[in-house]
Amino acid sequence: MQPCFETATRLARAIRNRKTTSVEATEAHLERIARLNGAVNAMVVVDRAGALKAARAADKALAGKGFKPGPLHGVPITIKEAFDVKGLHTTSSHPPLKDNVATSDATLVARLRAAGAVILGKTNVPELCADFQTDSPLFGTTRNAWDDTRTAGGSTGGGGVAVAARFTPLELGSDIGGSVRNPAHFNGIFSLKPTEWRVPGHGHVPDLPGVTRAVRYMGTFGPLARSVDDLELALRIIAGPDGYEAEAAPVPIGPVPALKAGDLRIAVLESNPLVTVSQDTATVVQATARLLSKAGARVKRAVPEGLDWTQSWEDWCDLFQYLTLALKPLSARERFFPMIDSADPSARSAARGARLDMAAFFALLDRRDRTLRACESFLDTYDAWLMPVMPDAAFVRQSQRAPLLIDGTPHPYFFAGTSYNYLANLTGQPSIVLPCGFSKDGLPIGLQLTGKKWGEAKLLGVARVLEKLLPPCPVPPRFAAA
């Protein structure tokens, strides 16, 4: 077998059944990283010694009488650089943290280790995970797995490329505005953004070490992988409260239903009023809707009644600004005040958030509740909502100050880049990305399925139906024979 081309689920099974060993799988991934990572800069910390030590221990344990292996026993995986991994640097690409070495594992890293995973190392992120490109002031730029000139996505950009390039079968990422979803879309892989507070975030930066925790809304933590089975496997390992965060809820995931296409009612959104998607993206949405319909699903173009796209985007953006600016002194916040008249909606949002107006904050939370109710009621009628992840395939890397062009039409950078991902963060609903097609330039295009809060089991069942209708997870051509 070729360990680097196996999913985590299949690799775990092969190790348990003695078809391969953890050492063989780990060495194969480490060799591939050493040989190919230089072209894309996905991995920024490689713990060769630690990974091989853990792999040898995994093989020794498996040989012991009566040992019961965990679900990821002996499987090599990677971790987004923003999570604490004991003994390794955790900087979130933030220069003041360049010498910070984690003294313990983040909750989710500890859970993955307890499940038997072998940590290969850590993947690149933009500074404080605050971009949908991955250009790190500490580690440099990560390049798209399919095209050197294109963005890898972000903020789990290094992880998205690592999974696509077959450096790892599984990555742990985080998402407050698309950060596990857009790298999956841009690199042709799968990802899961769980329900808000399904998965705890203790040990994740940008809540800076030793500083009051401010990022309490919308942030989620989930896997990037190459199959729906792997998304489910990882979710069951990392979900559930850990005693550190009051918001994390002990809601059971439950069994994933065995669904057929004929069982499904799917709502489809081809384009929203904020940013019109590219023709390539529209074509993939249409083709995927036809694929589901032909298989027997009831497919209909539909949106939640009364959903105000502009207001809900502003609410997501304002809430994000409140979280990121809450601990800043007045002198630092005042520089945003003049932006209230900016033509850029992201700049206007920063000006509103910088005032830390508590009455406006609670009014925002009230509107957030109404948006959630509209989207939850909508999904009483449909099993999932299929829509784009981003307005287009991976774009050529560019400055944040330049507009994002969608089929030649300019849009403000952050506004366009979050225009399809923001809603599931605002509502807290889960969302799964699957690679569904390609642009005319041969770049992957993913679509996301969104479900009801706490409804990951059903959503995984829906995603599994679509996965079976689609071709296998694609391999970037330059990595296919490498």
Q: 145, 164, 141, 146: which is closest to 78 by C-alpha? A: 164
Residue type for 420, please? Y
80 classed as catalytic: yes
- The CB density around residue 142, as the number of other CB atoms within 10 Å, is 32
377 is catalytic: no
Q: Of 233, 275, 224, which is closest to residue 256 (Cα–Cα)?
A: 233
- pTM of model > 0.85: yes
Q: State the number of CA atoms in the 13 A half-sphere of 457 facing the CB.
A: 10
What is the per-residue pLDDT across 322-361, written as a single tens digit (0 to 9) for each? 999 999 999 999 999 999 999 999 999 999 999 999 999 9
Q: 317: which 2 tokens?
A: 């953006």
Residue type, 18: R
Q: Which tokens is 234 given?
A: 């990882």
More confidently predicted of 456 and 65: 456
Is residue 367 one of the residues assigned to a domain? no
Number of domains in the chain: 1
The band of 482, judged by pLDDT with boundaries at 50, 70 and 90, is confident
308 domain-assigned: no
> How far from 110 is each of 13, 85, 161, 214, CA to CA, in Å?
21, 8, 23, 23
> Does residue 397 sit within a domain?
yes
Q: What are phi and psi of 17, to 5 degrees?
A: -90, 10
Confidence of residue 220 (pLDDT cuts 50, 70, 90): very high
Tell whether 23 is covered by a domain: yes
Cα angle vertex 246, ends 230, 77, to 5°? 25
Structural domain boundaries, residue 68:
3-302+382-476
322 in any annotated domain: no
Going by the DSSP 8-state scheme, the letter that residue 145 receives in this structure is S
Do the domain assignments include residue 125?
A: yes
Mean pLDDT of the region 99-111: 97
Residue 209: band (very low, low, confident or very high) from pLDDT cuts 50, 70, 90: confident
405-464 pLDDT tens trace: 999 999 999 999 999 999 999 999 999 999 999 999 999 999 999 999 999 999 999 999
Q: Which residues sit opposite 448 in a β-bridge?
A: 387, 433
Query: Domain with 429 in it: what CATH number?
Result: 3.90.1300.10
The yes-or-no answer on residue 136 being catalytic is no
Q: Which ranges of 39-154 does DSSP label H, i.e. alpha helix? A: 48-63, 107-114
Among 22, 92, 136, 179, the one annotated catalytic: 179
Yes or no: say if 219 and 201 are a contact pair by the CB < 8 Å rule: yes
Give the Cβ contact number of residue 31 at 10 Å: 11
Q: How many CB atoms lie within 10 A of CB 306?
A: 11
Are the CB atoms for 201 and 241 separated by under 8 Å?
no
Q: Which amino acid is at 269?
A: L
Evaluate if residue 303 carries a pLDDT over 90: yes
Report residue 472's pLDDT band, with 50, 70 and 90 as the boundaries: very high
Of 80, 452, 453, 458, which one is the catalytic site residue? 80
> Residue 442 class from Cβ within 10 Å (0-12 exposed, 13-18 middle, 19+ buried)?
exposed
Confidence category of residue 1, pLDDT binned at 50, 70, 90:
confident
Q: Could you tell me if residue 234 is inside a domain?
A: yes
- Of 93, 136, 155, 431, the catalytic one is 155
> Is residue 388 included in any domain, yes or no?
yes
